[in-house]
Amino acid sequence: MSTGRDRAVGFAVVTAAYLAAGLVAWAVVAVARGPHPLLLTFYADLAATVVVFAASMLVGNASLYDPYWSVAPAVIVTAWVWWQTGGEITAMTGRQTAVLLLVLAWSIRLTANWALSWRGLDHEDWRYVRLRERRPRGVPWWLVNLTGIQLMPTLVVFAGLLAVWPAVTVTGRSWGLLDVVAVAVTAAAVLLEATADRQLQRFTQDPANRGGIIDRGLWRYSRHPNYLGEILFWWGMWLFALAAAPNWWWTVAGPVTMVLLFTFVSIPMMDERSLARRPAYAEHMRRVPALLPRPARHR
């Protein structure tokens, strides 16, 4: 059982690691001259990831990377807006303001959700423990940690951020109906994910539900409504890209990658674990879809 001191030490380590990662990313941007700002951001993102990886190996806990998923995008998008406006807040367009506020809302909420559930350096995500245990013989853990746990999500998130680049740097098109749709989709996604996480937290904290399967609220219509919210968030970002620069339509690769990640990696791992712990979960899977909601099936 982790104590408040354990959590304090853990968060201090995370804070130090992320400050170091930020400094290294800033150094990459300051030193490298010539590359397109988008490519420069990519280099800085990779460098910061390597720093977090090194810290995770140093303390023996791959979960140090977990908040990077939600922290890095907020920093990157803020930097892009700052670069495009020259640091003049009053120069921000309506679209830039909407995108930045939505990204910050998503980032703060998701990071806070991680912080509430992480118990300290002795708490490592069960998926990482499983990857360590199941890795092929002869494959070093550091390689699995670097590529599978840290670099891969960094690449996936950066693919999602490709759509945000035109949304906050191309300012030739005025606010339109598609922007309104993008705001609605993205805000709904953040609300959906927040509601699902809150419902799950309440369910797991109730001793009466120990060993049970959540099938109420949003979870009655989708086995993973929190993942659905995450996917919709990135589709919302892509809609902003279309509103700002239709010729950037190809950035649809970002949200498509998110769909593939959750459909073929995250959801199967979660369902496999639930099946192993609760045999009744097989019937739950038959009745309730993985992502897109529909009325639950009954016999």
Give the tens place of pLDDT for each residue, 157-209: 999 999 999 999 999 999 999 999 999 999 999 999 999 999 999 999 999 99
CA distance 61 to 129: 9
105 HSE (CA, 13 A, CB side):
18
Specify whether the CB–CB gap between 228 and 296 falls below 8 A: no
Give me the pLDDT at residue 2, please. Answer: 53
Low-confidence spans in the chain with pLDDT less than 70? 1-5, 295-299
Give me the pLDDT at residue 293, please. Answer: 81
User: Sign (positive/negative) of CA torsion 183, 225, 164, 56?
Assistant: positive
Give me the pLDDT at residue 294, please. Answer: 76
pTM: predicted TM-score of the whole model, two decimal places: 0.93
Is the domain of 156 the same as that of 176?
A: no
Give me the pLDDT at residue 34, please. Answer: 79
Is the domain of 52 the same as that of 150?
A: yes
79 HSE (CA, 13 A, CB side):
18
The tokens 């959750």 sit on which residue? Answer: 262
Taking the mean position of all CA atoms in its chain, how far away is CA 33? Answer: 30
Is the domain of 251 the same as that of 219?
A: yes
Q: What's the length of the chain?
A: 299
Indicate the number of domains in the chain.
2
Q: Domain of 179?
A: 94-107+169-299
Nearest to 255 by CA among 167, 180, 147: 167
Decide if 72 is inside a domain: no
Give the tokens for residue 199. Answer: 């419902």
